[in-house]
């Protein structure tokens, strides 16, 4: 892994920085990290979402409540798993040979889809996980809330594509993939308005 900077953080790699961020329990911990690494978190090292400084209206108007925003993330995880299965079968997701609906994709890629079987439930449960982290529920004594981790074992994204996928808005990158639900690359940003006062969200692929 490359070094990010050559001065005060000369021995810090991108991987090490990621895990420091990932292990932060709440917004207060993340703010403390930004103070520890002021050079990395300086404004000039960051870009507006989708390269658009006027993106707040798009982000704000996506989801009306945090439950809907969380469901959108799980929906994207399901899309990622089905897309991965498509690639594993040697078919491009945009090809006419790819499934033309979600039901068709499930029938084709999950042959033994009897979800009532315990071993089948356990196997599939490992593919998408929602994990509650943090320092516990928000209360009058502890003003910090619960952090949420959404994990999936889907197709993933190459680093050079992340700005066009996870960090894009209204691009329609999946318009030609007929078996997925998310079409406009906005599922990742819909939850931002519910991510604390500072709107922190961490992506990794």
CA-to-CA distance for 189 and 118, rounded, in angstroms?
Answer: 34
Query: What is the phi-psi region of residue 126: left when phi exceeds 0, alpha when psi lies from -120 to 50, beta otherwise?
Result: alpha
Angle (nearest 5°) at CA 31 between 30 and 36? 95
Would you state the pLDDT for residue 85?
95
pTM above 0.85, yes or no: no
Residue 80 has pLDDT above 90, yes or no: yes
- What percent of the chain clears pLDDT 70, i.e. is strictly above it? 85
Q: What is the pLDDT of residues 93-110, one digit of tens each?
A: 999 999 999 999 998 998
Residue 1 has pLDDT above 60, yes or no: no
More confident site: 26 or 4: 26
Residue 45 has pLDDT above 60, yes or no: yes
């Amino acid at each position: 892994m490359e070094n990010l900077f050559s001065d005060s953080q000369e021995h810090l790699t991108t991987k090490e920085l990621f895990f420091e961020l990932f292990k932060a329990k709440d917004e207060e911990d993340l703010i403390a990290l930004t103070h520890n690494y002021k050079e990395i978190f300086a404004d000039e090292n960051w870009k507006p979402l989708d390269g658009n400084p006027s993106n707040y209206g798009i982000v704000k108007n996506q989801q009306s409540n945090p439950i809907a925003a969380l469901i959108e993330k799980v929906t994207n995880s399901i899309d990622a798993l089905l897309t991965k299965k498509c690639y594993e079968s040697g078919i491009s997701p945009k090809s006419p040979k790819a499934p033309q609906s979600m039901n068709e994709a499930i029938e084709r890629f999950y042959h033994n889809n009897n979800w009532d079987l315990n071993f089948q439930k356990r196997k599939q449960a490992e593919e998408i996980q929602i994990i509650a982290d943090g320092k516990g529920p928000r209360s009058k004594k502890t003003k910090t809330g619960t952090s949420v981790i959404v994990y999936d074992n889907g197709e993933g994204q190459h680093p050079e594509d992340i700005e066009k996928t996870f960090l894009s808005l209204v691009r329609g990158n999946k318009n030609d993939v007929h078996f997925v639900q998310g079409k406009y690359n906005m599922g990742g940003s819909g939850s931002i308005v519910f991510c604390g006062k500072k709107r922190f969200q961490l992506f990794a692929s």
